[in-house]
């Protein structure tokens, strides 16, 4: 196998995104950083790189362990990277906050546009 792979292919193979098009779009929107540098879809990722990934599931900070251009089972995809401890803790804290802090606890009336934006930020979609 090659020692470098396009970052959009790797993100798709590691199952951070359902399609390669979504992975490319995330790169173009600035949601993917490789070694603290904003990554374009054609940027090559290699073993040892640290990636910061923002997607619907949350914010991930991972170290690349293996390279793959082919999407396989989820068990195999999880062997491609190692999530940092700080990333795991931050995602757990965000999930706990979302669980304990529901929309009914924040607003007494129907949410307006500003409130809806706050809700989407709390849910981790932005």
3-state secondary structure 35-103: CCEECCCCCEECCCCEEEEEECCEEEEEEECCCCCCCCCHHHHHHHEEECHHHHHHHHHHHHHHHHCCH
pLDDT of 105 strictly over 70: no
Domain 1-83 fold: 3.10.290
Q: How confident is the model at residue 91 (pLDDT cuts 50, 70, 90)?
A: confident
Residue boundaries of the structural domains of the chain: 1-83, 85-126
pLDDT of 34 strictly over 70: yes
pLDDT, one tens digit per residue, over 2-20 is 688 999 999 999 999 999 9
Percent of the chain with pLDDT over 90: 51
Q: What is the mean pLDDT of the chain?
A: 86
| Tokens 């990722």 sit on residue | 45
Give bridge partners of residue 68 from the DSSP assignment: none
Question: What is the model's pTM?
Answer: 0.75
């Amino acid at each position: 196998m090659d020692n470098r792979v396009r970052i959009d292919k790797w993100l798709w193979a590691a199952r951070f995104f359902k399609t390669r098009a979504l992975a490319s779009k995330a790169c173009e929107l600035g949601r993917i950083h490789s070694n603290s540098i904003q990554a374009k879809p054609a940027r090559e990722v290699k073993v040892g790189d640290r990636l910061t990934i923002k997607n619907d599931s949350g914010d991930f900070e991972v170290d690349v362990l293996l390279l793959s251009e082919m999407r396989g089972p989820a068990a195999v995809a999880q062997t491609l990277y190692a999530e940092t401890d700080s990333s795991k803790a931050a995602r757990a804290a965000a999930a706990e906050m979302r669980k304990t802090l529901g929309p009914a606890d924040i607003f007494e009336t129907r949410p307006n546009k500003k409130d809806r934006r706050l809700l989407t930020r709390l849910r981790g979609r932005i």
